[in-house]
Structure 1
C-alpha cells in the first residue's frame, strides 16, 4: 500500500505544483516545468500501478449486483469528456475542465464496482485530487468560454471514445475483469 500512496502523493504534487507554487514553476520556465510534470507523472503512474497490483484485497464494502453496467456507462462518458478536452466542439464550450471531470467520473465509476481498501484509496484519492484541482483553477483563473465549435468535432471525440472503450474493456477482460458481466466480484 505504501508504494500506491507514494505514487498518489507524487501524482498530486506534480499536478498541483503549478497551482500551489506558481512562482517556482514560472522560474523553471514553460518547457522544463512541463518536462518535470511529465517525468513525475510517469513515475507516479508506474508506482500507482505497481502499488495497486501488489496491494492485498481488504474488503471495505460490497458493490451492488449489476452495478457494473452503470460503471460502463460512466466510463464511456469519462472517455468522451477526456477526448472533448482536446477537441474544439460544442461540448467543450459547455463544460469547464472536461478532462478533470472525466477523472472524477472515472473515479466514481471504479468506486461503484471495487469495494476494497486499495481501490478506495486510489480511486477516491484521484477523484478528490481532480475536484481540488477544479476548485483551485476556478479560484485562480477566470474562464473564457470558448466559442462553440462544429458538432463534427464532438462526433469524432465520441468515435474515439468508443474505440478506446473497446481497447480498455479488452485489457480488463485480459486481466480477468470482464466489464460486461455487470458484477466483478
Structure 2
C-alpha cells in the first residue's frame, strides 16, 4: 500500500504542475480559484510522497558505492545554486532557460546516485521524469525564449548565499529525519 501512496504522490505532483499546460481551458474557466486548488494538490502530493516513502519496505535494486555520497553532495551544492539563480537573476539565468527545473533534475540524479532502493527510484526517478516532461511541455507551448537582460554577477552572489542556506536547511532536515547526508 505504501508504494501506491508514493506513486500517487508523484503523479499528483506531476499533474498539478502540468495542469495549466495540459488543460488550459479548464484552468482558465476556474479563474483564480485554480491557484488555490493547485497549491492544495501540491501540498497533498508532498504529504503523500513523504508518507509513502517513509512507509515503504527497503527493497534494494542496486548498491551504490560509498564514494557517490561525495558526488551527491557536490551535485546538491550545484543544484541549490542553480535553483537560486532563477530567483536572484544571476548571469546563469541568462544561459539556462529553466533554472529551477534544471535544479530539480540535478537534485533527482544526485539522489538516484546514492539511493539504490525501489522507493527511491520511484520517488527521485518519478520527479526527474516530471521535470523532463515539464521542460518539454513548456518549450513546446512557448518555443521562443527571450533571455533575461537584467542578469548580474550580484545575482549570482545572491544565488550562492541562497544556495548555501538551502543546503544547510536541507542537511538539517536530513539529520532530523535520521539520515546522514555525508555518509555513515
Q: Give the TM-score of the pair, scaled to structure 2.
A: 0.94
Question: CA–CA distance in 2 between the matches of 1:35 and 1:173?
Answer: 32
| Structure 1 position 27, deviation (Å) | 1.4
Question: CA–CA distance in 1 between the matches of 2:52 and 2:153?
Answer: 41
| Structure 1 position 38, deviation (Å) | 0.8
Question: CA–CA distance in 2 between the matches of 1:38 and 1:85?
Answer: 21
Partner of 1:144 in structure 2?
Answer: 146
Of 159, 163, 166, the match for 2:165: 163
What is the root-mean-square deviation of aligned Cα atoms in Å? 1.2
Gap regions ≥5 residues in structure 1: none
| Structure 1 position 164, deviation (Å) | 1.5
Residue 69 of structure 2 corresponds to residue 46 of structure 1: no
Partner of 2:156 in structure 1?
Answer: 154
Question: CA–CA distance in 1 between the matches of 2:58 and 2:51?
Answer: 14
Alignment deviations for residues 157-180 of structure 1 (CA, whole Å, 9 cap, x no partner): 111111211121122123232222
| Structure 1 position 148, deviation (Å) | 4.5
Partner of 2:13 in structure 1?
Answer: 11
Gap regions ≥5 residues in structure 2: none
Q: Partner of 2:87: helix, strand, or coil?
A: coil
| Structure 1 position 52, deviation (Å) | 0.3
Q: Give the TM-score of the pair, scaled to structure 1.
A: 0.93
Alignment deviations for residues 10-42 of structure 1 (CA, whole Å, 9 cap, x no partner): 11110111111111111122x222222111000
